Structure 1
């Protein structure tokens, strides 16, 4: 039997308030005087029932802006190799969104509170957020009542969709190529979902996080006689300079225009696939169809 979709009416009944109050709260309408306790009741009821909002009401009540926001975390400690990865993903998404008639408002942010308030004034139809800390994601989630889709970031809230690489699948694939013991070289992702997944199987001393203050050459010299998994193409190019490339497996994000040595083994977690899935989810959330199912978490398959 098909599971009944939770509606605002169900949330209102659970919270003991009117449907109008639920609408005011979940739309973050500051013009309505609703107490803090009532707002908490509504949010708790929505989470308990795993309510997924239908974004159609907002879209129908005013003309679509056909403007989509892409927010990318840009911390001072990020290395250029990580920035390349997300600029490439942004480019893939922009191409796809432009083909569908959307303009893109791109925000590479270091000052979250200030920049998010600017983006809210843009009347966005949807927002994509790339690689944010979980506490920052929670803060962003409260700023928008449009589809807000997190890419490479996880927040434990059924109201929001997440698109992630699966650390379990990555490690299983790595074991096929490298055996049971290997080191890992990876970017300094703000959201620690991937790092935590890897740390369950790989010892802390065998994980290198690419941030200022950490010495990649020193790490590789210590691990010279081991095989390694490298997450990121530009990182892979750096590692190739110091170890036998036949002993590494590199996670790349494109199936063409590879900059690695020809005989370096790779696994692909495609930015094009991430972009396609993100836009597909956005369109589902914007449909005037309460029965259209949308997965809370989508793992990008390895190619």
Structure 2
């Protein structure tokens, strides 16, 4: 008789393998509804699942090693590389100060190789800007009690902590700042406003940002997602827009030099507002950087068993006022 696997249980329960693993290994640092937990246990019983006691025993031992998993492609533009660097550098400093060793892994965004993850036992891992379609092939390698914290990634499976900026709030503040004038003649109509943003491997996060802008009354025609600087030429040549709101300060710095718009507001996502040199550029920053939030969540997951009871696993960092 074929031995029942977690994959078999996941398919029958219509949940992810990671969710099944957390339930069967009695992991207390992930948020799983009680009904889902009972359903998985019932299916495991019906299928006569036999747990891997060796793996469960190993999972309880700490190594002091934390992984940072970075999804990169061969054509990652420089403004994205700067954003990744900012998160990784800040995380590494926080981890070192807390006594952890850091394992940095650059994964191929299209086809991540996970051999080294399997070989190393990690106390926790941070996954940055993961592609929607490769997330589960990565997360399945952290199935026994290892907190996996997502940065700049939005997924449907709510058992994982997910951290990103509150882009809709940032855009709303940017729109208010840019038209902060008592002279109606100087105010910009909505038709003259465009949004220029960095792209993400995680397309669910992109869709989330686009929806936030749409909810503020702007159509998709006003939004430009930039993967290559040549894409800015068509915006410049059209001459249709007087005001731009840019997401990513390194991209904003390049646009400053092009002198394309009468008004420019930049939402800083790399924690480097000093790169913006034009005194007329409006700057939006956030209350704290993503790495600080992610590190705090990691410590809570590792040290406080009751932290898993929190029902909200999406952490949207607000704008600094």
TM range (shorter): 0.7 to 0.9
1:170-181 correspondence runs (5 A): 170-178=170-178, 181=190
**C-alpha separation in 1, matches of 2:147 and 2:161:** 8
1:68 and 2:66 aligned: yes
Map of 1:40 onto structure 2 = 11
Cα deviation code 1:130-179 (max 9, x no counterpart): 11122222322222121111101011112111001223212211221235
Change over 3 Å in CA distance of 1:197–1:174 after alignment to 2: farther
Q: Is the 8 A contact 1:59 1:286 kept in 2?
A: no
Match of 1:54 among 18, 25, 28: 28
- Residue 97 of structure 1 aligns to a residue in which SS? helix
**C-alpha separation in 1, matches of 2:90 and 2:317:** 15
1:277 and 2:293 aligned: yes
- Residue 302 of structure 1 aligns to a residue in which SS? coil
Q: How many residues align?
A: 270
Map of 2:220 onto structure 1 = 204
Map of 2:154 onto structure 1 = 154
Q: CA deviation at 1:47?
A: 6.5
Q: Is the 8 A contact 1:59 1:125 kept in 2?
A: no
State the TM-score, normalized to the length of structure 2. Answer: 0.73
1:2-13 correspondence runs (5 A): none
- Residue 258 of structure 1 aligns to a residue in which SS? helix
Q: Gaps (5+ residues) in structure 2?
A: 31-54, 180-188
State the TM-score, normalized to the length of structure 1. Answer: 0.77
Cα deviation code 1:9-49 (max 9, x no counterpart): xxxxxxxxxxxxxxxxxxxxxxx74375434345649969x
Q: Gaps (5+ residues) in structure 1?
A: 1-31
Q: CA deviation at 1:302?
A: 1.1
1:1-303 correspondence runs (5 A): 33-34=4-5, 36-41=7-12, 44=15, 53-55=27-29, 62-110=60-108, 115-145=113-143, 146-178=146-178, 181=190, 182-200=193-211, 201=214, 202-212=218-228, 214-223=230-239, 225-243=241-259, 247-253=263-269, 258-261=274-277, 262-269=279-286, 273-287=289-303, 289-290=305-306, 293-294=309-310, 295-303=312-320
RMSD: 3.2
**C-alpha separation in 2, matches of 1:239 and 1:161:** 34
- Residue 258 of structure 2 aligns to a residue in which SS? coil
- Residue 249 of structure 1 aligns to a residue in which SS? strand
Q: CA deviation at 1:220?
A: 2.5
**C-alpha separation in 2, matches of 1:276 and 1:252:** 16
Cα deviation code 1:52-82 (max 9, x no counterpart): 9425996985431111111111112321111
> After alignment, is 117-126 or 190-199 more displaced?
190-199
- Residue 290 of structure 1 aligns to a residue in which SS? helix
Cα deviation code 1:69-112 (max 9, x no counterpart): 11111112321111111111110111011100011111122166
